[in-house]
Amino acid sequence: MSKSFETKVVHNSLKQDAEKINSKATPIYQTSAYTFETLEDLEGYFEGKSPYLYTRNGNPNTDELGHAVAQLEGAPAGMASSSGMSAILCGILAAVGNGEHIVAAEDTYGGTYQLLTQELKTFGIEVTLASFDNLEEVEGAIQGNTKLLYSESVTNPFLRVENIKALVDIAERYQLKTMIDNTFATPYLLHPYEEGVDLVVHSATKYIGGHSDVSAGVLVGREELIEKARGKMVALGANLSPFEAWLGQRGLKTLALRMKQQSENADYVAESLRNHTDIKHVYYPAYVSEKGNGAIITIELNERCDMDRFYKSLGWIKIVPSLAGVETTVSYPKGTSHRALTEEQQEKIGINEHVVRISIGIEGAKDILAQLGDAIEASLHEA
pLDDT tens for 130-156 read 999 999 999 999 999 999 999 999 999
CATH number of the domain enclosing 342? 3.90.1150.10
Residue, of 347 and 304, whose pLDDT is higher = 304
Residue 362 contacts residue 326 (beta carbons within 8 Å):
yes
Q: Is residue 97 part of a domain?
A: yes
Residues 27 and 121 in one domain: yes
CATH number of the domain enclosing 33? 3.40.640.10
**Residue 151: beta bridge partners?**
180
Q: Is the pLDDT of residue 383 over 70?
A: no
Q: Which distant-in-sequence residues (6+ apart) come within 8 Å of 366 by Cβ?
A: 268
Dist CA 341 CA 346 (whole Å)? 6
Residues 45 and 80 in one domain: yes
Residues 117 and 85 in one domain: yes
Q: Is the pLDDT of residue 1 over 60?
A: no
Q: Three-state SS for 234?
A: helix
Least confident of 8-12, 84-88, 137-141, 166-170: 8-12
Q: Is residue 202 part of a domain?
A: yes
Q: Is residue 3 part of a domain?
A: no
Q: How far is CA 253 from CA 210, 250, 257, in A?
A: 10, 6, 9
Residues 308 and 212 in one domain: no
Q: What is the DSSP string of 79-111?
A: EEESSHHHHHHHHHHHH--TT-EEEEETTS-HH
Residues 309 and 169 in one domain: no
Count of structural domains, the chain? 2
Residues 195 and 309 in one domain: no
State which of 207, 229, 252 marks the end of a domain: 252
Residues 227 and 343 in one domain: no
- 291: containing domain: 256-379
Q: Is residue 247 part of a domain?
A: yes
Residues 235 and 160 in one domain: yes
Tell me if the pTM is above 0.75.
yes
Confidence of residue 23 (pLDDT cuts 50, 70, 90): confident
Residues 187 and 231 in one domain: yes
Q: Is the pLDDT of residue 6 over 80?
A: no
Residues 70 and 203 in one domain: yes
Residues 244 and 280 in one domain: no
Q: Is residue 83 part of a domain?
A: yes
Q: What is the DSSP string of 144-191?
A: TTEEEEEEESB-TTT-PBP-HHHHHHHHHHHT-EEEEE-TTTHHHH--
Q: Is residue 102 part of a domain?
A: yes
State which of 227, 252, 277 marks the end of a domain: 252
Confidence of residue 306 (pLDDT cuts 50, 70, 90): very high
State which of 252, 286, 311 marks the end of a domain: 252
Give me the amino acid identity at 240.
Answer: L
